[in-house]
Structure 1
């Protein structure tokens, strides 16, 4: 599911990558099981189709040049012939948005021009796939980038969902048709804005999903726009929206993964424009696609494939830790490991612990390797600085970590002693670390911006080895506490106590198992 402009940028990169994994030769077989994310069907002329299994919501004007009916479902229909009105029909049409040169080249089969931040106006400008007409849902109540009524406050999304759901049961109309045609629903992967009104829309949607599909894993990837340079009131509004979303979703979603571009300088192997949603979403999409790759690999090798339910159980070890941090490290493909030596990233630093083989028994009990920090923390580390007067966060305590590596195979080891943690009463304990690997590198397509660099400063244009991690750790507690202190007075009196208590409960869920009374901050 894709809710809003931020998520649709990310999802477009995601679907373009999925489309690139298709193989067409008789002797070729893709390592990806396309039936997980694609659905078979019939076009208007009876031809077989294979389209993304997704539901896309956006505001009026948000779809750009994307039409609900495409070349596979384009049936011309006379407005007068289909109308029940016996009189003459008057049709009012808004000036259509001109197609991008990239889309025109795809339609004509020509070599596409290079995309730039100035030529990508909408997420549909770099889209490479066809969608089923039922996937495309425009909400006309709000307009994209409106200055008169911007879709930016929590209650707007909440009210919009309530009004639409009252008129047409959204779950029955939009989601259920895709669910019922699936042989087995592994889970629901939902992408949404986390800091605007889409957060309110998503929270109410997930609540309805949970009522209907109580045992189905629901993963929420919540994107946040860069806030550097925004006025203080705008930054505070986004933080309030985020606090409300986390408070609402923590009891409904199986896993919540906040995504934000770090305010710190990025590594030298990543060059992106933080003002371009095409660039920012590309980094998010590469991380999400790499992290979830193992839920759609063919299952011939059980060790290197998984599913949402299993990965949820691995991460949420105490049952109260639904928020996970996400990190990534791009690895320079121009410096492959040879003769058993460790691979390096684009700065020449060794990347350790990539291939820790884990058998089924070890998956249940946790690998005996230490948890790792990666180069780029996309889990909004700046939230740790929200309350300057708070005590400096202690070293993070890792409860569980899912590490993934995609790219060329190598063998190496990691120092097992360096990440031993000491829990309550000084007992030695190791975090549970679960490792997945695949030789399938991340594809760099012509629709993807050239944001990755090699060790020789060259632009990487074909494939990228990548390492990612999903981690439940005590830094979530520190972020939630500081978020609560920052926004609590900006929340209406009628909701203040409820939201404050829910945020405090979320933070408490990340103390269990390691902290003692002396570890508690006085932030509350």
Structure 2
């Protein structure tokens, strides 16, 4: 087996991760449900790639994500850092202050109450065999959906996964209500404390060292603020400790992070933050995927997304990440089964090798997604899936024709024209024909296909338009004024996701490189003191800037 360890750093990254793990939990439940769609029982997905089996201290079998999550103090809501709902850790109950012999006064904040959804999970765990009947359950589910739509504050408010005690880490010195932890420099003092970074490394080491043959690390970071610096230092230690382990980095941002600056100083700091974050983070990973648009509300007419809700925007990012992870865990099966249920297995290292055009350099790629992906139609519309792809990477070129492009696409759960699950051969034939029909073909294109769609669990936002059916099929035009559909009306959706190493990403890189030169490097610039305060001044700065310029030149030269 080739395991994957996941790391989530920062607020929005954990919102995305919460949806991602809910998808996995739903897949596990559907695989054991005799009443579920048989496609989930024959999905040929090896969940042990992402999960670890073990036992609790009470000798109870457990199956937990192989995950390290790093967030601000107070970001866990009603979830304990030990991974269990509604309980507190012993360390928080008893203060261990050995250097003080005087009186100790302990101030304890009121614990966050569990919302209706978390209360229902707790009741199900305590009474797994109880049932009030289908009608009552339906009414209750509607209440749960409404409660989630209007009451999600923390990423744990909609998480239905049990976490390992080593998984959840709250970073001291950063708080959920501290709004100035918003740029690369604000985290310098927080993460400079050696013990915190060492503890994060120890938690990661726990999961890595129990792997038989780790294939890579998928790393999510909310790089819109100070957690970009936290992630950069964490990644630097990962590169030092696990030299031959590829790192796939998702840099995720919520639409809220694109708010306008109040003055010139904030504009300079924000531009420098974006440039420094890109340069530092891309240097310590093998493959970087920037995700996050200023607005997702116009992403697709099939979706109804409210930008101000992290619960909404993070779901789209998580769905794309889920699709991209499918090739990493396709099972090795016989030729007949392979052709029936899946095709195109590859691991993280192979994906990096493909997208870097068989090179070893770090790559920055654009991400496109179709949610839901359209059904396969007749041969007069072979480019249907290709046309439905929408970019989740900001500031990229609209030009989609690049003869030097290298692409990797994942398509899963697609329906045929009759509303049934399309066969693997049907999907491959359609996609290959669409590529042949393009005016300018990519230099290389890899395709992974699975018949298993994206499951829509109950803690999922109501973001689908009225034209999306129960299986994610597109019914027709949306009805004006119709309420968006959620998990009670849509059980699964077909998906397509594509990573592109092409000239489309060049504007994203060039803009940040130009900002760094214009605002922070050129003689007399207003941002030179900002870089100095961030520890990027002097000779060290010149060395780092020289490396960054060579990196940008290499990225852009590849496509010119």
Q: TM-score, normalised by structure 1?
A: 0.80
Aligned match of 2:473 = none
Alignment partners' CA distance in 2, 1:502 and 1:353: 42
How far apart are residue 514 of structure 1 and its match? 4.9
Cα deviation digits, residues 440-462 of structure 1 (max 9, x gap): 11111211112223234373621
2:204 counterpart (175, 179, 202): 175
SS in 2 for 1:294: helix
Aligned match of 2:49 = 36
8 Å CA contact 1:320–1:509 kept in 2: the answer is no
1:24 counterpart (32, 49, 56): 32
CA 10–77 in structure 1, closer or farther in 2 if over 3 Å, else same: closer
How far apart are residue 173 of structure 1 and its match? 2.1
**Unpaired stretches in structure 2, ≥5 consecutive residues:** 1-6, 125-136, 415-421, 469-475, 479-483, 521-526
Tell me if 1:469 matches 2:498: yes
Tell me if 1:154 matches 2:184: yes
8 Å CA contact 2:247–2:287 kept in 1: the answer is yes
Larger deviation, residues 101-110 vs 210-219: 101-110
1:287 counterpart (320, 341, 349): 320
2:551 counterpart (491, 495, 506): 506
Tell me if 1:311 matches 2:311: no
8 Å CA contact 2:201–2:234 kept in 1: the answer is no
Aligned match of 1:402 = 408
Alignment partners' CA distance in 2, 1:282 and 1:395: 29
How far apart are residue 171 of structure 1 and its match? 5.1
CA 75–272 in structure 1, closer or farther in 2 if over 3 Å, else same: closer
**Unpaired stretches in structure 1, ≥5 consecutive residues:** 343-349, 355-371, 385-391, 422-429, 516-524
How far apart are residue 19 of structure 1 and its match? 0.6
8 Å CA contact 2:86–2:114 kept in 1: the answer is no
How far apart are residue 37 of structure 1 and its match? 1.0
Alignment partners' CA distance in 1, 2:95 and 2:350: 53
SS in 2 for 1:21: helix
8 Å CA contact 2:285–2:362 kept in 1: the answer is no
Alignment partners' CA distance in 2, 1:162 and 1:271: 42
8 Å CA contact 1:401–1:470 kept in 2: the answer is yes
How far apart are residue 161 of structure 1 and its match? 2.4
How far apart are residue 116 of structure 1 and its match? 4.1
Larger helix fraction of residues: 2
Q: TM-score, normalised by structure 2?
A: 0.75
SS in 2 for 1:44: coil
How far apart are residue 319 of structure 1 and its match? 3.5
Larger deviation, residues 324-333 vs 460-469: 324-333
How far apart are residue 497 of structure 1 and its match? 4.8
Aligned match of 1:443 = 455
SS in 1 for 2:434: coil
Alignment partners' CA distance in 2, 1:67 and 1:184: 31
Aligned match of 2:444 = 432
Alignment partners' CA distance in 2, 1:102 and 1:224: 26
SS in 2 for 1:188: strand
How far apart are residue 417 of structure 1 and its match? 5.4
1:475-494 to 2 correspondences below 5 Å = 475-488=504-517, 489-490=519-520, 491-492=527-528, 494=532
Tell me if 1:124 matches 2:156: yes
CA 241–373 in structure 1, closer or farther in 2 if over 3 Å, else same: farther
Cα deviation digits, residues 60-95 of structure 1 (max 9, x gap): 111111112355997996967999899998653211
8 Å CA contact 1:44–1:75 kept in 2: the answer is no
Alignment partners' CA distance in 1, 2:456 and 2:216: 27
Alignment partners' CA distance in 2, 1:190 and 1:262: 22
How far apart are residue 137 of structure 1 and its match? 0.8
Cα deviation digits, residues 407-456 of structure 1 (max 9, x gap): 132342225253436xxxxxxxx421111111111111211112223234
How far apart are residue 487 of structure 1 and its match? 4.2
SS in 1 for 2:215: coil
Tell me if 1:99 matches 2:111: no
How far apart are residue 229 of structure 1 and its match? 4.4
2:436 counterpart (413, 416, 420): 416
Tell me if 1:58 matches 2:91: no
Tell me if 1:208 matches 2:237: yes
1:138 counterpart (162, 170, 181): 170
CA 179–404 in structure 1, closer or farther in 2 if over 3 Å, else same: same
Alignment partners' CA distance in 1, 2:204 and 2:212: 15
CA 130–437 in structure 1, closer or farther in 2 if over 3 Å, else same: same
8 Å CA contact 1:327–1:374 kept in 2: the answer is no
Alignment partners' CA distance in 1, 2:388 and 2:548: 27
CA 505–33 in structure 1, closer or farther in 2 if over 3 Å, else same: same
CA 38–321 in structure 1, closer or farther in 2 if over 3 Å, else same: closer
CA 95–17 in structure 1, closer or farther in 2 if over 3 Å, else same: same
Alignment partners' CA distance in 1, 2:317 and 2:218: 14
2:366 counterpart (302, 310, 325): 325
2:310 counterpart (277, 294, 303): 277
How far apart are residue 38 of structure 1 and its match? 0.9
SS in 2 for 1:134: coil
8 Å CA contact 1:374–1:468 kept in 2: the answer is no
8 Å CA contact 1:398–1:471 kept in 2: the answer is no
Cα deviation digits, residues 112-149 of structure 1 (max 9, x gap): 411444211111110010101111111121111314xx
